[in-house]
Amino acid sequence: MSAFYISVAQNKAKTEVKKSQYSAADITVLEGLEAVRRRPGMYIGTTGPEGLHHLIWEVFDNSRDEAMGGFADDIEVVLLPNNFIRVADNGRGIPVDVHKQTKVSALETVMTTLHAGGKFGGEGYKVSGGLHGVGVSVVNALSEWMRTEVHRDGGAYVQEYVRGKRKAVVKKVGSSKLHGTVQTYLADAETFNKIEYDFDKVVAHLREQAYLVKGLRITIVDARQSAMELPEVGDALYIRAQLYHCPSQTFYFEGGLCSLIAFQNRYLKPVHKNIFYIEKEADGVNVEVALQYVDDLTSRVLPFANNIYNQEGGQHITGFRTALTRTLNAYARKAGALKESEENFTGEDVLEGLSAVVSVKLREIQFEGQTKGKLGSVEARGAVEAVFGEAFSTFLEENPEDARAIAGKVILALKARKAAKAAKDSVLRKGALEGFGLPGKLADCASKDPAESELFIVEGDSAGGSSKQGRDRGTQAILPLRGKILNVERARLDKMLASAEIKHLILALGTAIGDIFDLGKLRYHKIIIATDADVDGAHIRTLLLTLFFRHFRPIIDGGFLYIAQPPLYKIKKGKEVAYVYSDEEKNKLIGKDTVIEEESAEQEPSDERNAGAAGPTVSEEEGLAKSSKKLRVSIQRYKGLGEMNPEELWETTMDPVRRVLKLVTVEDAQDADRVFDILMGEDVGSRKTFIQSNAKLANLDI
């Protein structure tokens, strides 16, 4: 037998041995909640800030489901000292009697077993957000410590857990005239690298929930800085914030979704007066929709299923958009707003300037993934399409003034879409014939691999000249912009494409824009905004961020957009040179025993120059007497990138080894949308209020 065949035979024999060694002993069974601790991302999406706050939502959802069933009307969420979280409701209280199947209390079953709860059939809940039944048990698994306190049937009961495992059986600790459940937990530092809660984020999420459940009172208390200790089990379900002088907010809305629409549009100008609203059940699906058109270019449609926000939409949104487009086309044809020769409205036309909330409630609900980002229940589509389509058609017939205003808004969007398409096609055709679509002012890099290519968007020709000379020509491209670009918050696509600076940027990116945007054609996987550290630089940066957020959002979501952080100071101590990015860093570096020489950005430091007045806090005589014994330090304050020579710009801002870049992300799209509306929109009053309320956070360079 040849050596080749001997080798094959030996390998075959080894494979058979390996197969025979694979037995039942190799199968790992993770008991209890160990699977959650091993793979937390499968259950809460991430172990970062979003996942940390998701624990609060999961506990709150159980209390909210009690309110949706009509068993509770008051929920309190408290951020306690030392990172403890407490959620209390006045619902029925989790049952504490022994469960027939598990042979332990129903409370322990719910808290320590995945897929256990009152949401899998039976009459515990007709509608709930927790289809998977893993919510509170996942929180328990990912908590260093957790305690459940139940008030029901005249008694107070308690059980504690450590990382998902009970410490003891459920114990009755006394009598109680109350009813409800109190959950207190401490997120596990072994799972979450940083445990830090954002009070504003909690408030925003729970405010939204208060709109969705009429008659539900929700209170959020920030007791983290108070002298409050971890509350013991007792007769009080709620903590009275005023007793501890804690910041708190309480929400209670009778208007429901109409109140939410009014809140969402508070900085925008409505196109029509009356807010459309319908709530009706069809085929076992409760459908609730509210909408209003505003004088804006973007759409804001919030989808909810069993009061869970569906970030990625789903079947209910598909049904809503279909009915909206069909109904408005039918009305416009009937009213003569659209002539026979004109084309129908598209989904893009009818969504422009629309603020809407679409909420469905189903008994048996299907989400795609545990984080419930997308609704998969097919029956929701038909129910929304039928209920909303019929009701909206009636609304247009009964409110002719509102109907005409809405139709006028959509017709304007249709005309603008046509004009924008013509302008876009013209730009792309023209660009394709001029330098293969690349603007002449772009200093491109040699590499054609997007993964290693970088585009620096710099402010002005001066910074452009320095950066072109100082860059790595192999992988770094430079696009200088002249002045401040167009504010795209209120500009349509055709007007944007008439702007030379925006047109150059679009051609440089390579993705195109609008309905033909293609992220796969992005020419650089690092797009770096590099502007001066002054007011004008901040304004230009904000204008660019507005452009990317409104028209190139996938670039932000893909992690391709960055902001350069040039240093504030160049510090020279003897022959040593350091660049620092803050006053704190500067003071730490120079120390106390120094004589400081202030240098302007235009001057090179001189060792013969006398010490400046900004030295240590000693008298002038003492300073002169001791200067010979102290280390002389020269400080150069940078005002802009254009003041740096190419070598300095490379060392501080462009060298991948030493530079500091900030990745641009969108943690909360709704909040980001609101901020852009305020800062870049036409409502001067709201912008003034925003600036006044946030003035103390400004980092002024005076």
Among residues 222, 288, 352, 459, the one annotated as catalytic is 459
| Listed residue (175, 125, 132, 129) closest to 150, CA to CA | 175
- Which residues 6+ apart lie within 8 Å of 335 measured at CB? 403, 404, 407
Phi and psi torsions of 160, nearest 5°: -115, 155
Characterize the bridge pairing of strands 354-361 and 165-166: unpaired
Spatial separation of the C-alpha atoms in residues 120 and 115, rounded to whole Å: 8
- Which residues 6+ apart lie within 8 Å of 275 measured at CB? 258, 261, 262, 290, 291, 292
Any alpha helices (H) in 39-145, and if so which ranges? Answer: 41-44, 49-68, 106-112, 135-141
> Which helix (H) or strand (E) segment is 463 a member of?
helix 460-470
Residue 70's CB: how many other CB atoms inside 10 A? 10
- Which residues 6+ apart lie within 8 Å of 637 measured at CB? 568, 569, 598, 599, 600, 601
Query: What is the token pair recorded at 419?
Result: 């004009």
- Which residues 6+ apart lie within 8 Å of 416 measured at CB? 492, 493, 494
Amino acid identity, residue 405?
Answer: A
Among residues 295, 534, 620, 701, the one annotated as catalytic is 534
- Catalytic, 677? Answer no
Spatial separation of the C-alpha atoms in residues 115 and 3, rounded to whole Å: 57
Contact 620, 614 (CB under 8 A): no
Characterize the bridge pairing of strands 217-222 and 248-251: antiparallel
What count of Cα atoms within 13 Å lies in the side-chain half-sphere of residue 214? 9
| Listed residue (514, 456, 290) closest to 387, CA to CA | 290
Phi and psi torsions of 598, nearest 5°: -80, 130
User: What's the DSSP call for residue 375?
Assistant: B
Spatial separation of the C-alpha atoms in residues 300 and 304, rounded to whole Å: 13
Instruction: Tell me the C-alpha to C-alpha distance, in Å, between residue 380 and each of 260, 284, 306, 362, 363.
Output: 22, 9, 11, 8, 11
Among residues 74, 76, 89, 532, the one annotated as catalytic is 532
Phi and psi torsions of 424, nearest 5°: -65, -45
| Full 3-state SS string of 464-521 | HHHHHHHCCCCCEEEEEECCCCCCHHHCCHHHHHCCHHHHHHHHHHCCCCHHHCCHHH
> Which helix (H) or strand (E) segment is 76 a member of?
strand 74-79
Spatial separation of the C-alpha atoms in residues 680 and 610, rounded to whole Å: 47
- Catalytic, 26? Answer no
Among residues 34, 536, 598, 673, the one annotated as catalytic is 536
Spatial separation of the C-alpha atoms in residues 423 and 421, rounded to whole Å: 5
Spatial separation of the C-alpha atoms in residues 561 and 539, rounded to whole Å: 17
- Catalytic, 536? Answer yes
- Which residues 6+ apart lie within 8 Å of 485 measured at CB? 499, 501, 502, 505, 540, 543, 544, 547
| Listed residue (598, 600, 639) closest to 462, CA to CA | 639
- Catalytic, 459? Answer yes
- Which residues 6+ apart lie within 8 Å of 322 measured at CB? 381, 385
Give CA torsion, residues 654, 656, 658, 663, to 10 deg. Answer: 90
Q: Which residues are catalytic, by number?
A: 459, 532, 534, 536
